[in-house]
Structure 1
């Protein structure tokens, strides 16, 4: 899930024509107030929904490519976009302001989602499973503990009171939230890098950080025993290169703009890299893939309502519990495509409500207070 940076235009609804920096050697600068990144992020969130449908109806992993299923590539896209935008946010703000914005964007809606799962989704499933509510509040993982154990983004428990059960993928209400912890760690990484003036003045320290992250992932088998084969370390090492790939594009953005020629070259390099380096080619290709996605955002038409309302986060965090609720009522028998369509229809009202009632107001408040 993942980027949660939103420019002021998303809050105000104002759009402007792209501004071209005179320092660019070629291409155009990405206009932060007139692009289709919100639309692309929504597409990525729905790709994750579709990928999860295969698991949740018991149809395997679904389509994949070079070691990642469709959802994995969507998450990589999220992290690339996030790396670009979040690096810009860090370099343009003091540390305190930056952290307040990041917390305001990701935490409140996340906490409300935890409460919704414990107070709405799980009780319904528990009643369907037991035909009564007896023992719901005391059955491990208890509803209150499901909130407390996960409230700091690190997902420690996935079930609530033994639900969901009797479904193809039991014991997990939200298999999407785990990425938010690692995204926030990437926020902290960029926060730390941004404290050094030389990182802001030259693009090469960020390039070095990116290459180091790729080297860590490429040598994961050697490093894993020294980290006690930590799954968290493995997942972080897998995702950080995608985030820093976007950051690399950002630090070069003052000199290198976005153009179709640049996107074509970047795509060619990405293809060669993905196919040419087994095990870490996906990560090594991250800056080039991020460049392509960002260029696409300059010409891909976006509905104005989506351009000014970023519902992708809500779609991302609510899709999985909605899908599991459908599965509790037997919708997994419908097959992947009908199941996905039903989940999409049921998820979007929650995503819209999350944006309008929680995310947008809290971001406005955070910007007024700093």
Structure 2
């Protein structure tokens, strides 16, 4: 793939997840969420960035794979080894250090091991461990893992999309446009906690993340036709901000801000991603974004457990980075990178 800043932007997005979680974990209001009229929490920004870049890179991976099986195996190797070790670390190290139960009771409790249900990516909502973080404002052990389910669902969507549209991507574009228009019309009914059976996915989140992912795919398909430049990026940002003025004045619903944001944010991300410069080599020493993402939440919860939530958000974020970065280094060099070598067997 051409030179880009994907590693750097993913690293920033993973870091933004830490920033985004520090507020709800301490029962404080997210500053960015307040500025955006409650429409765009910090953590959600990060996830949207991930999905745009993922749509671009994952479609590239599928098209350059010999088969759907080969492609899916590469996706499995990218996600599951790191996730498994993170779950083991959380259950046996984080849990044993922070549980209020006697260790014998903690390790013989059936619910301790049900946490590994998260490895299925479609779990029955196993988000807590016995006696762990129960005194914190929120008792969730790793509130980042839920988005991995949506990410992997998009990997499967790519298989279907390539099968249907590989030689006729213009039909994919038309299908996307038609779907987006319907989505805007039925936006209100799709809100809420409507869950798809079996896979336990929130319908609105699936569509919301899926649109960003599909836009990333379209940027890949039409990468030779789409012009990426600073003026257009500023125009995209300006149109997004303009929608706040229009919607806040009552001329359009607040949802219109989100509709414009899909395209504006996606264009801005892709523009910054393709800028040539030294940041193209940011990931040469390792891709730490996934490690940051899967270890940040339990570490931040541990900080609140041992230091309380009297510490300022900035201090908590700084302390979290001190603990998380070594774990991210370990995850990449000891787990993720060695696992990716097995991709050779699926070419």
Structure 1 length as normaliser, TM-score? 0.81
Separation of aligned partners in 2, 1:225 and 1:259: 37
| 2:89 is the counterpart of 1:116 | yes
Tell me what 1:82 maps to.
54
Q: Note closer, same or farther for the CA distance 1:189–1:336 as it changes in structure 2 (3 Å cut).
A: same
8 A Cα contact 2:55 2:216, kept in partner: yes
Q: Note closer, same or farther for the CA distance 1:109–1:102 as it changes in structure 2 (3 Å cut).
A: same
Mapping of 1:177-256 within 5 angstroms? 177-196=145-164, 198-209=165-176, 211-213=178-180, 215-216=182-183, 219-223=186-190, 232-256=202-226
| C-alpha distance after superposition, 1:224-264 (max 9, x if no partner) | 79967986222212211111121121221132243334434
- How far does residue 35 in structure 1 lie from its aligned partner after superposition? 2.0
- How far does residue 284 in structure 1 lie from its aligned partner after superposition? 4.5
1:49 to 18, 24, 31: 18
1:339 to 291, 313, 316: 316
Q: Note closer, same or farther for the CA distance 1:227–1:315 as it changes in structure 2 (3 Å cut).
A: closer
| 2:317 is the counterpart of 1:349 | no
8 A Cα contact 2:55 2:214, kept in partner: yes
- How far does residue 108 in structure 1 lie from its aligned partner after superposition? 1.4
Separation of aligned partners in 2, 1:194 and 1:248: 12
2:301 to 324, 328, 338: 324
Tell me what 2:267 maps to.
291
8 A Cα contact 2:192 2:204, kept in partner: no
Separation of aligned partners in 2, 1:327 and 1:225: 30
Separation of aligned partners in 2, 1:214 and 1:107: 35
Q: Note closer, same or farther for the CA distance 1:68–1:265 as it changes in structure 2 (3 Å cut).
A: closer
- How far does residue 344 in structure 1 lie from its aligned partner after superposition? 0.9
8 A Cα contact 1:49 1:319, kept in partner: yes
Separation of aligned partners in 1, 2:282 and 2:213: 27
Cα RMSD over matched residues?
2.7
| C-alpha distance after superposition, 1:314-363 (max 9, x if no partner) | 00110001111111212422121111110011000001110111111111
- How far does residue 200 in structure 1 lie from its aligned partner after superposition? 3.8
Question: Which blocks of at least 5 consecutive residues in structure 2 are unaligned?
Answer: none
Structure 2 length as normaliser, TM-score? 0.86
8 A Cα contact 1:35 1:297, kept in partner: yes
Q: Secondary structure at the match of 1:340?
A: helix
Q: Note closer, same or farther for the CA distance 1:253–1:305 as it changes in structure 2 (3 Å cut).
A: closer
- How far does residue 199 in structure 1 lie from its aligned partner after superposition? 4.3
| 2:342 is the counterpart of 1:365 | yes
